[in-house]
A = this chain, B = another copy of it.
Amino acid sequence: MEELVTVALDVMGGDHAPSEIIKGGVEAVNASKQVKVLMVGDEVKIKEELDKYTCDRERIEIVPTTEVISNNEAPVNAIRNKTDSSIVRCQRLVKKGEADAMVSAGSTGALLAGGQLIVGRVKGVHRPPLAPLIPTAKGFSLLIDCGANVDARAVHLLQFAQIGTIYMEDIIGVKNPKVAIVNIGAEEEKGNQLVKEAYPLLKECPSIHFIGSIEARDIPSGEADIIVCDAFVGNVILKLYEGVGNTLIHKIKVSMMSSLRSKIGGWLVKPALKATVKEFDASEYGGVPLLGLKGLVVKAHGSSSAQEIQRAIIQCITFKQQNINVRIEEVLNQ
Task: Name A residues whose Cβ lies closer than 8 Å to a Cβ of B.
Answer: 72, 74, 136-137, 148, 150-151, 182, 184, 187, 189, 191-193, 195, 215-221, 230-233, 235-252, 254-256, 258-259, 261-262, 264-273, 275-276, 279-280
Asked if residues B243 and A245 are in contact (CB atoms below 8 Å), the reply is no
- What B residues does A279 contact at CB under 8 A? 251
Asked if residues B261 and A268 are in contact (CB atoms below 8 Å), the reply is yes
List, sorted by A's number, 13 A–B pairs whose CB atoms are closer than 8 Å. Answer: A72-B187, A137-B247, A150-B193, A151-B192, A216-B235, A221-B246, A232-B233, A236-B236, A248-B248, A252-B273, A255-B269, A265-B266, A265-B270
- What B residues does A193 contact at CB under 8 A? 150-151
| Cα distance A238–B74 in the bound complex, in angstroms | 31
- What B residues does A137 contact at CB under 8 A? 247, 250-251
Asked if residues A219 and B248 are in contact (CB atoms below 8 Å), the reply is no
- What B residues does A236 contact at CB under 8 A? 182, 184, 216, 233, 236-237, 240
Asked if residues B255 and A272 are in contact (CB atoms below 8 Å), the reply is yes
| Cα distance A246–B220 in the bound complex, in angstroms | 9
Residue among B191, B271, B273 making CB contact with A150, cutoff 8 Å = B191
CB-nearest residue of chain B relative to A247?
B220
Asked if residues A243 and B221 are in contact (CB atoms below 8 Å), the reply is yes
| Cα distance A246–B136 in the bound complex, in angstroms | 11
Asked if residues A255 and B241 are in contact (CB atoms below 8 Å), the reply is no
The 6 closest A-B pairs by CB, nearest first: A265-B268, A265-B269, A220-B247, A150-B192, A217-B239, A216-B239
Asked if residues A271 and B262 are in contact (CB atoms below 8 Å), the reply is yes
**Given known A268-B265, A269-B266, contact A220–B244 (CB-CB < 8 A):** yes
Least Cβ–Cβ distance between A250 and chain B, in angstroms: 7
- What B residues does A261 contact at CB under 8 A? 268-269, 271-272
Asked if residues B221 and A247 are in contact (CB atoms below 8 Å), the reply is yes
| Cα distance A193–B262 in the bound complex, in angstroms | 49
CB-nearest residue of chain B relative to A137?
B247
Given A216-B240, A265-B266, 19 other A-B residues pairs in contact with their CB atoms under 8 A: A74-B189, A184-B231, A192-B230, A217-B242, A220-B240, A232-B233, A244-B248, A248-B248, A252-B276, A255-B276, A258-B272, A259-B272, A261-B269, A262-B272, A265-B265, A265-B270, A266-B269, A268-B268, A269-B269
Residue among B191, B255, B280 making CB contact with A275, cutoff 8 Å = B255
Asked if residues B192 and A219 are in contact (CB atoms below 8 Å), the reply is no
| Cα distance A187–B109 in the bound complex, in angstroms | 12
Among A246, A248, A270, chain B packs the most CB atoms within 10 A around the CB of A248
| Cα distance A189–B261 in the bound complex, in angstroms | 50
CB-nearest residue of chain B relative to A138?
B247
CB-nearest residue of chain B relative to A149?
B192
| Cα distance A265–B271 in the bound complex, in angstroms | 11
